Structure 1
Amino acid sequence: MSPPIDLALADDGAPALPLYAVAPTELAALGASLPAAAWRYVCASGFTAKAGELCLLPGEAGLAGAVLGLGESVADDGVSPTGISPWTFGDLPFRLPEDTLWRLAPGDYDPGHAVLGFALGAYRFASFKPPARKPARLVAPAGTEAAQVAAEAIIMARDLVNMPANHLGPAELANAVAALGKEFGASVEIIADHALEAGYPALAAVGRGAARAPRVAILRWAGSRAAPEAPLIALCGKGVCFDSGGYDLKPSAAMLRMKKDMGGAAVVMAAARMIMAADLPVRLALRVGCVENSVSGAAMRPLDVLATRKGLTVEIGNTDAEGRLLLADLLAEACEEAPTLIIDCATLTGAARSALGPDLPALFSNDQIWAERLLAAGKACCDPLWQLPLWADYGTWLRSHVADLNNIAGNTHGGAVVAALFLERFIATGVPWVHIDLYAWNDSTRPGRPEGGEAQAARAIAAAVSLHFSG
């Protein structure tokens, strides 16, 4: 059984120091509420309530509290409806004195944002080495339960992405899906060996070169208020536990972070966790393709022709374009159930990063209504996405002389668009589909976002599903 996820939070009622979070316009009101000596200290320190500015308040016992600057609140800044993001609170766990306990003072900000930012900022990957110091802790106010659920989901995903590939192979990733299902009373089926070869031929081909055999994990869940015909949400995740590139071998520098190539799987698992924890009145089908893309005598080769679950044949133009192959089988199977919505997530292309950078996952969709729901939800919860087009004319670049299509284009243009167009070939007519091409990594530590694995788009997905299907 997995240990409980530590959010660096404490139950309400514990004795704690006050943490005042104020905008520049609220400084006068803060001064009227603080003891005179404490306010004189704030003024003498030059505190102006800039975003992220911190002032520790002295007292007779040593430390009496702290004041955090929220900066200017601008309603249309693209960060949040109030202009104050969770990341304003994200570096407090390691800026406040070690192992101290704090309580949020009332203010003009969302306590849920504060709890989420604080909890995610306290995260450090500690499976093999304990953190250098303990974080400060925060009393979680009533009404912030959803933020705590989101933080747990993101931390679960971060741990999976950060886990070294020798500790997280296909079997271990499938087992993580099983553990998630057990936690929420969902059924989980793990498919391997001959059944996998027969049902997911392209996915099987991707994993054939590895010593560790591939798996498909399928989690099925229904909310307590979900009728038999309730909306069916299908989530599909790319779970390539390590990507060498196969015979089209990656250069060593490009291989360094390839333990994160299962980031799409971690993201859909995190979204599923939030949906189940909210007990939404929907049915959920989560599919994770768990493989390793390696080099061996059994590995797929350039110009091989593969079968797929849908019946289309695919010529392999590049063995390093493997994620779209396993997603093709998962998406085809998901469509067989006529879902209300399919969302897939994958660390699919470097082209998406070249276009949008590491912080903006690229969103593609055959349904503009759902695209706009995801985009709006991402903006509202500070989990942004950016839409790129499914430009149909580029689909001709996937032509093959020997198969129904190639897995890459014959040029280097529009790689993220071409990958999305490849996936679209496996979506049944009339099924709403959203594809999210993401990075799943923080290159450096920022408030609330330590260097390492990141569950980009998970909160946006859960928020969009919740807003539309909350009943």
Structure 2
Amino acid sequence: MTVQLKKSIPAGAVAITVVDRAAFQAMAPKLPARTRNWLATVGFTGAADTFALLPDANGTLSEVLAGVAHGNHPFALAALPQALPEGVYQLSETGVTVSPEQAALSWELGAYQFDLYKPRKRAPATLVLPPSPEAQRGLALAAAMMATRDLVNTPAEHMGPEELAQAAELIAKQHGAKFKQIVGDALLKQNFPAIHAVGRAATRAPRLIELNWSGVKKSAKAPLLSIVGKGVCFDTGGLDIKGADGMRQMKKDMGGAANALGLAALVMACKLPVRLQVLIPAVENAIAGNAYRPGDVIKTRKGLHIEIGNTDAEGRVVLSDALAYASESQPDLIIDLATLTGAARVALGAQLPALFSKHFDTARELMDLGMKLDDPLWHMPLWAPYKAGIESSIGDIVNTGKSALAGAINAALFLEYFVSEHQDWLHIDLFAWNDTARPGRPIGGEAQTIRALLAFLEQRYAG
């Protein structure tokens, strides 16, 4: 951890004074002329994600001025840990107040680097904060988000279905959850044929990963929350093979599963009064003589028959069995997270996950929370007339639409077939990846929506 919680600040810790543009304009006239001239020379104005180093009379670092958009931004201090000189820092009592939660969260995320294969060039700077529940929460959020990033960033060679199961089992052990998995041909015996069909061509066996946890003593009376994550650990496209550019980042196609595990870890760490079920259909969509084919018709756990229009639309196929299984327990809420369609990215881009819900008020509540917390989602419609586009002449449903139009909606409508009619359900089509670097958000795997979802779940279950 690059954030340390200590009751007393170490001697020599350099003060960081946080300002926004308005605060800096008010502060500047009160500064010594020498300091004002220096800040004018380096062009510091209090703009977000900028900073200025202030020396003392001996030329050593005495203070840092750091610009933020506002003190409650989750990436308020993220530009600092890898840019400031190595050492120990503290937040000044003057200037803009940054909440302990956002200070801990943004500093940790700003220090994040995926260094499994390539060592860091330098250690990040350390921030010391007074101990508080808010700071602890910030660290917990950061830990879940960084673990999510690590899972997505790990290449498929080292993050196949078995390794994803091992990561889930580790999280289960950390929080006292029960872990189990159904592997290989056992999927057929236990009626998960769609998961098996997609993953059967890979040398690494497909599986359904399941975690169960209860945060209350009288667990039978607690509401059941089911979180489902798409765990396609690598996607060649199957027999409808992707081109080289399309396949390059397909290690990230388990980003839904990674985010599901990150959210589940937070639900358990915050001890929400729920019974939690986590389901991850984990497969590799590979090419071999026994690969499932375009034109095949696959029976699902629910009994519906899927015609395969394209083997590269495999995510919705594996999710069909998991969603049907989740629905059987009649949970209070199902949330599924999936890197499901390129169409959602065309519509909304990399930074804005698509949200689908049967209930407009629920979707609006989650959208508003996401905007407030700078963890955004955007509501898109489950437009029922488009169901005609996924009808099959030889099966119940086809896994591709009749045209390229409304691709994200078609995929969501497909999934809806496998959720019970009156089941409360949220479907999130996310990218799980930063395609451009921003402070605290380097290029690579990303945790999207889990802060907003945690806040939504806390409101729903913990008041």
TM bucket (normalised to shorter chain) is over 0.9
From the superposition, tell whether residues 226 and 100 of structure 1 become closer, same or farther in structure 2 (CA, over 3 Å): farther
Q: Which residue of 2 aligns with 1:124?
A: 113
Structure-1 residue corresponding to 2:168: 177
1:129-168 alignment, distance < 5 Å: 129-141=118-130, 142=132, 143-168=134-159
Q: d(CA) in 1 for partners of 2:342 and 2:171? A: 30
43-52 or 242-251, which moves further after superposition? 43-52
Does the aligned pair in 1 maintain the 2:187–2:196 contact within 8 Å? yes
- Cα gap change, 1:23/1:428 in structure 2, threshold over 3 Å: closer, same or farther? same
Query: Which deviates further from its counterpart, 424-433 or 47-56?
Result: 47-56
CA deviations on 1:221-260 (whole Å, 9 max, x unpaired) are 1114664211111000000000000000000110000000
How far is the alpha carbon of 1:368 from its aligned partner? 2.1
2:180 corresponds to:
189
Q: Hey, what does 1:10 align to over in structure 2?
A: 4
Q: Match of 1:50? A: 47
CA distance in 2: counterparts of 1:193 and 1:51, whole angstroms: 51
Structure-1 separation of matches of 2:224 and 2:233? 28
Contact 1:101 1:139 in 2 (8 A): yes
Compute the displacement of 1:35 (Å). 7.6
Q: Which residue of 2 is the match for residue 101 of structure 1?
A: 88
Q: Are the counterparts in 2 of residues 235 and 342 from structure 1 also a CA contact under 8 Å?
A: yes
Letter in 1 for 2:60: G
Q: How does 1:241-390 map to 2 (within 5 A)?
A: 241-390=233-382
Question: What's the offset of the Cα at 1:43?
Answer: 5.7
* 2:80 alignment counterpart: 92
Q: Could you tell me whether the CA contact under 8 Å between 1:362 and 1:388 is conserved in 2?
A: yes
The answer to whether the 8 A contact 2:101-2:137 is kept is yes
Distance 1:14 1:33 in 2: 27
TM-score normalised by the chain length of structure 2: 0.94
Asked if structure 2 preserves the Cα contact closer than 8 Å seen for 1:272 and 1:462, the reply is no
Q: Secondary structure of the residue that 2:82 maps to in structure 1?
A: helix
Deviation at 1:272, TM superposition (A): 0.6
Q: Distance in 1 between matches of 2:209 and 2:197?
A: 17
Check whether the contact 1:225–1:280 (CA below 8 A) recurs between aligned residues. Answer: no
Task: Tell me the CA shift for residue 26 of structure 1.
Answer: 2.3
Cα drift, residue 404 of structure 1: 0.7
1: CA distance between counterparts of 2:451 and 2:288? Answer: 38
1:210-249 mapped onto 2 (5 Å cutoff): 210-224=202-216, 227-249=219-241
Q: Return the offset for 1:351.
A: 0.3
- Match for 1:398 among 387, 390, 399? 390
> Normalization by structure 1: what TM-score?
0.92
CA distance, structure 1, for counterparts of residue 181 and residue 306 of structure 2: 25
Unpaired segments of 5 or more residues in structure 2? none
Q: For residues 96-119 of structure 1, what are the alpha-carbon distances to aligned partners after superposition, in whole Å with 9 as ceiling and x for unaligned?
A: 11x221111233333322321221
**Residue equivalent to 1:465:** 457
Following the alignment from structure 2 to structure 1, what is the Cα–Cα distance between the partners of residues 268 and 17?
34
CA distance, structure 2, for counterparts of residue 174 and residue 324 of structure 1: 20
Give the stretch that moved more between structures: 411-420 or 116-125.
Answer: 116-125
Query: Does residue 20 of the first structure (1) align with residue 17 of the second (2)?
Result: yes
Identity of aligned residues (%): 45
Higher deviation after alignment, 437-446 or 352-361: 437-446
1:17 to partner: Cα distance: 1.1
Deviates more, 1:137-146 or 1:405-414: 137-146
State whether residues 226 and 282 of structure 1, in contact with CA within 8 Å, keep that contact through their aligned partners in structure 2. Answer: no
Identify the residue that residue 3 of structure 1 maps to in structure 2. none
Q: In 2, Cα distance between the equivalents of 1:34 and 1:308?
A: 70
Separation (CA, whole Å) in 2 of partners of 1:387 and 1:331: 20
Gap regions ≥5 residues in structure 1: 1-6, 74-81
1:63-96 alpha-carbon deviations (Å, 9 max, x no partner) = 112011224x5xxxxxxxx7x5223322211221
SS of corresponding position for 1:411: coil
Deviations 1:327-371 (A, max 9, x none): 110000000111000000000000000000100000001122321
Task: Note if contact 1:192-1:216 (Cα within 8 Å) is conserved in structure 2.
Answer: yes
Q: Which amino acid aligns with 1:221?
A: W
- Check whether the contact 2:227–2:277 (CA below 8 A) recurs between aligned residues: yes
